[in-house]
Amino acid sequence: MRLQALLGDAPLQAILFDLDGTLVDSVPDLAAAMDAALQHCGLPVAGEERVRSWVGNGAVKLVARALDWAVETEVAQVQSAQQQLLLEAFYRAYAEDSSSRSRLFDGVLEALQYWRDAGVKMACVTNKPERFTHPILAEFGLQALLPVVVGGDTLAQRKPDPAPLRLACERLGVAVENAVMVGDSCNDIDAAHALGMPAACVSYGYNHGAPIADAGADLLVDVFSALR
């Protein structure tokens, strides 16, 4: 098991998974909701390709990047009222449909079933709000495989802060030293390394449009099944 090799002599007891860009290609639905929100606010639509480069830090940051692009100003200069209006419109649109265009990446379900059968505990640690995370996991049959969910609004802190990873380990009843983080961005890597936890990454994810190969992952794979 390749993830076990990252822990050396310590037994692998838990794997923490990011959601967007790691388990699920959710950008098509995120982009549709974002374009609907931009249109609602009288702003130009962004399109899927552009939204794909904005995903990875949660909805608030996604909206800030969209508004930054739409009004051609710095994020810090965007009026908070305008950003809040766009965020609310995005949430409404995404709540109506967060999964019809999304898909599991190849090999995800089979790999999670493999680790479950091997007795490894698993959790989803994402910057997506919990109210959107649970329906997506249910849609793709992942709830039973990922019984612990730490979302972007579970705590005051989000990745790259290590607190969500620590909480996931606590809820799984596993020491940090026996867990590995699997994600697709520097947020996952930085959060894991802050705890002394190895981080494995998939190369096909989002990472805000930057190459993940430069982010310092302990293991980088091109397909999810290669993590096994």
The residues that are catalytic are: 18
Rounded to whole angstroms, the Cα distance separating 51 from 38 reads 12
Spatial contact of 199 and 180, defined as CB atoms under 8 Å apart: yes
Side chain identity at 71, as an amino acid letter?
V
- The sign of the CA dihedral 161, 182, 100, 140 is negative
Q: Are 197 and 175 in contact (CB under 8 A)?
A: no
Nearest to 157 by CA among 199, 193, 195, 191: 191
Q: How distant, in Å, are the alpha carbons of 29, 67, 121 from that of 61?
A: 17, 10, 30
Which amino acid is it at 125? V
